Amino acid sequence: MKVPGLKLICLAFLFIHTRILVCYGAPDDAVDDYTDETPAKPPPPEMDNCNGVFLSYAFTSRTKALPLLKNVSAQPWTFNAMATVVNSGTEEVKGWKMYIGFQHKEILVSATNAVLVDGDVDFPAAVGNGTTLAGYPKADLKTSIDTAGDFNQIAVQVELKGSMFGLGEKATPMPKTISLRNDGWRCPTPTKYKTYMHACCKRDPKFKVNSNKKSKFAARQNGDLTFTYDVVKSYEGSYEAQVTMDNSSPIGRLDRWNLTWEWMRGEFIYSMKGAYTPRFDISDCVYGLAGRYLTGFDFTNVMNCEKKPTITDLPLTKANDTQIGKIPYCCKNASLLPPQMDPSRARAIFQLRVYKLPPDTPPTILYPPQRWNITGVINARYHCGPPIRVDPSEFPNPKGFDAKVYAIASWQVVCNMTRAEKRKTRCCVSFSAYYSDGAIPCSTCACGCDNIDTDKCNPDKPAMHLPPDALLLPSENRTAKTKAFAKLKKKGIPRKLPCPDNCGVSINWHINTDHKAGWSARMTLFNWQEAPFVDWFVAVEMKKAYPDYDNVFSFNGTKKLKGIKNTIFFQSLKDLNYLVEMKNGSKPSDPKVPGKQQSVISFIKKKTPNIKIRKGDGFPSKVYFNGEECALPRSFPSSGHRSPLSIASFILISITTTFLLITNRFI
């Protein structure tokens, strides 16, 4: 069905010294449901009065896409839109980032002059919950004063193409909001029209601006994890760079880290020192643009030609290798620890030689890779921003002179920890107490149920309470104890039992004692994986009990965490730094035995005399294992009569875990 086309609509934005034309519309033969015969409204007066950053979003066209469906809400549509960012203020905007609050299950297929900030997302990208765009290749917007009103230097237009769903033919296909995501800026609720919205963002007066007027580029930012990409040598057609990774978070950590980024202009990695790419692949060079432009080039020794390479650290055995090692802070088996555990292991460095393609071959043309992302194994998850140009890094003179050596160009990438989505964490916590004969296990599918047969278990049923000794068993061996405990407590047993938690690591928090002067808890770590954890740590947030933390007996513990409130940091003792892997039982028929470590933690009631242990004040509000935030139970153990089973169970779990803890010391 064709609907009369949308007439060309243009908004003329008048500056003091220049006129900027921003047109949004579609040709008359476009299929569009947004025909408006009324004359175009005059330019918004807010544009002339905006002393800051002017943002706009203009929806231009929408067309039905295949398949054509009778269900209007499921019909896919292709759409086109234009986002505009204009620096109409008196200070340069460095590394602009614009948030667009999409809300119609949009899938973004392309965006000109910008990249998606989410490092692990590529086009086509599902952006139905909103997305942030960053400028590329032009990341900074100069002022009209410094450029004599040159529109190409003070503004950028981003053409957006994508698909959307769930809309009727008369629905308004606009985002919820638009805003500038740069630090220190405030954006009001945008002014909205039928197919257009705009907002004027201004400096937050409470934000402390870097007062270093000598800086040509953006100030370096703080983050949980930061990368510095320094170009240290530049040649015709190639350059050498150094990448420095710094962990600043007291509860952040990475094990077996894998770093990815995306080359945007056909670059490829010729060689590396201090790290490597697990995949040595030159096919993209031979059959791609590099093979076309670099005729006669010998690709035999090229390390990696992928557009999105994966990079990881070298093992310890390569630390002194003169060809690929001998780099400060390299070669630590891809492990990055919090600075308070070991400052020397909170940094990683590697170097690489990068080849470029025309027209970027001159030594002065340099672009960093975009869309950085880093992952680990049961570690914190990070969201990384785009590379921001910063002042060149300083290095000591390699010849020993009392002089400073500077990078040719430097960029910074800031990454911050994010919370795992529900059922996507990798560790969980169970609760138990001396006054209750049942343990509240980890929640059903706490770490996901994607890889199990849900025909045999119910992923939506709440987890059933267990006798405490069942926590020592793998989930597949708990069925008999779970059913027996439910019968003892006269509770119903569903036909399909709840699915297990599927977590690689679980932690039991048990209230051990409670008396007038203080109380104690026992924390037990269970490793259900086939690989050990080295130099592990647990961070526990105690909102009510934190002030009265007293001591821990088999771990090291501290409350001195910079920037983290109400959190106690526990780590292994010097000779107990291995949380061993799960092992087979003594007999083939015996269940597998998880790796365990355990300690009692004491609290006094000097500052919290009215603390209510049985109502939940003695249980943590957050638990982190190696930086990963663990899933917590939804309730606390209830007070009540303790059956003989409870006493026997706790004696069993205490004797067993203590024995295994002692055994672990000698493994």
Q: What is the mean pLDDT of residues 199-219?
A: 78
The full DSSP string for 607-619 is S-TT--GGGTTTS
Asked whether 156 and 141 are in contact (CB, 8 A), the reply is yes
Cα distances (angstroms) measured from residue 211 to each of 84, 89, 186, 214, 361:
29, 18, 20, 9, 36
Domain CATH number, residue 301: 2.60.40.290
Tokens matching residue 325: 């090692």
The answer to whether residue 27 sits within a structural domain is no
Same domain, 395 and 450: no
Whether residue 434 is found in the same domain as residue 407: no
pLDDT surpassing 60 at residue 344: yes
User: What's the pLDDT at 119?
Assistant: 65
Same domain, 392 and 495: no
- With bands split at pLDDT 50, 70 and 90, how would you rate the model's confidence at 588? confident
Q: CA geometry: angle at 115 spanning 299 and 83, to 5°? A: 150
One domain, residues 295 and 261: yes
Give a yes or no: residue 651 inside a domain.
no
What string of DSSP letters covers 88-116?
A: -SSS-B-S-EEEE---S--EEEEETTEEE
- Confidence band (pLDDT; 50, 70, 90) for 217? confident
Q: Is the pLDDT of residue 188 over 80?
A: yes
pLDDT tens per residue across span 368-380: 999 999 999 989 9
More confident residue, 261 or 74: 261
How far apart, in whole angstroms, are the C-alpha atoms of residue 178 and residue 105? 17
Give the per-residue pLDDT at 29: 36
pLDDT at 214: 62
Identify whether 213 is part of a domain.
no
pLDDT at residue 665 tops 90: no
Confidence band of 35 (pLDDT split at 50, 70, 90): very low
Which of 361, 393, 415 lies at the terminal end of a domain, its last residue?
A: 415
Read off the pLDDT band of 646 (50, 70, 90): very low
Q: How confident is the model at residue 655 (pLDDT cuts 50, 70, 90)?
A: very low
Tally of domains in the chain: 3
pLDDT tens-digit map of 414-469: 999 998 888 889 999 999 999 998 999 999 999 999 888 888 899 999 999 999 99
Task: Answer yes or no: is 647 within a domain.
Answer: no
Query: Could you give the CA distance from residue 331 to residue 318 in angstroms, rounded to a whole number?
Result: 6
Structure tokens at 169: 């033919």
Least confident of 143-152, 337-346, 489-498, 654-663: 654-663
Residues 382 and 430 in one domain: no
pLDDT score at 210: 56
Cα-based distances in Å from 210 to 213, 227, 391, 393: 8, 20, 13, 17
Q: Which of 212-221, 319-328, 528-537, 650-659 bottoms out in mean pLDDT, i.e. has the lowest?
A: 650-659
Q: Does the structure show a pLDDT above 90 at 306?
A: yes
Are residues 508 and 613 both part of a single domain? yes
pLDDT (mean) for 225-254: 97
Q: How much of the chain, in percent, has pLDDT values that exceed 90?
A: 73
Asked whether residue 261 is domain-assigned, the answer is yes
| Residues with Cβ within 8 Å of residue 547, at least 6 apart in sequence | 607, 608
The pairing of beta strand 114-116 with beta strand 131-135: antiparallel
Taking the C-alpha atoms of residue 505 and residue 525, their distance in angstroms, rounded to an integer, is 7
pLDDT band at 342 (very low <50, low <70, confident <90, very high): very high
Please report the pLDDT score of residue 12 as a whole number.
35
Tokens 């040509």 locate to 216
Q: Is the dihedral of CA 120, 124, 127, 133 positive or negative?
A: positive
Question: 3-class DSSP state for residue 139?
Answer: coil
Ranges 77-86, 110-119, 391-400, most confident: 77-86
Judged against a pLDDT cut of 70, whether residue 650 lies above it is answered with no
pLDDT band, very low/low/confident/very high, at 659 (cuts 50, 70, 90): very low
| 551 plus 519 within the same structural domain | yes
- How many CA atoms, within 13 angstroms, populate the side-chain half-sphere of residue 390? 20
Phi and psi, residue 338, nearest 5°:
-65, 150
In the predicted structure, residue 26 carries a pLDDT above the cut 50: no
Task: Examine residue 71 and state whether it is found in any structural domain, yes or no.
Answer: yes
Task: Name the β-bridge partners of 373.
Answer: 260
Q: pLDDT-derived band of residue 651, with 50, 70 and 90 as boundaries?
A: very low
pLDDT of residue 212: 53
Same domain membership, residue 595 and residue 471? yes
- Amino acid in position 211: S
Over range 96-125, report the average pLDDT.
Answer: 90
Residue 258 lies in a domain: yes
- From the CB of residue 316, how many other CB atoms can be counted at a distance below 10 Å? 13
363 lies in some domain: yes
What is the DSSP secondary structure assignment for residue 458, as one 8-state letter? Answer: B
Is the pLDDT at 183 greater than 60? The verdict is yes
434, 383: one domain: no
Task: With a cut of 90, say whether residue 206 has pLDDT above it.
Answer: no
The pLDDT of residue 576 is: 86
Structure tokens at 292: 């076309």
Q: Mark whether 234 and 310 lie in a shared domain.
A: yes
How high is the pLDDT of residue 205? 87
162 DSSP β-pair partners: 79, 108
Who has greater pLDDT, 666 or 128? 128
Residues 595 and 557 in one domain: yes
Same domain, 539 and 450: yes
Choosing from 388, 415, 442, the residue where a domain stops is 415
pLDDT band at 658 (very low <50, low <70, confident <90, very high): very low
Mean predicted lDDT score pLDDT of the chain? 87
Last-in-domain residue among 415, 447, 469 = 415
Structural domain boundaries, residue 156? 43-201
Judge whether residue 40 has pLDDT over 60: no
Q: What distance in Å separates the CA atoms of residue 581 and residue 594, rounded to the nearest whole number?
A: 7
Q: What is the pLDDT of residue 169?
A: 79
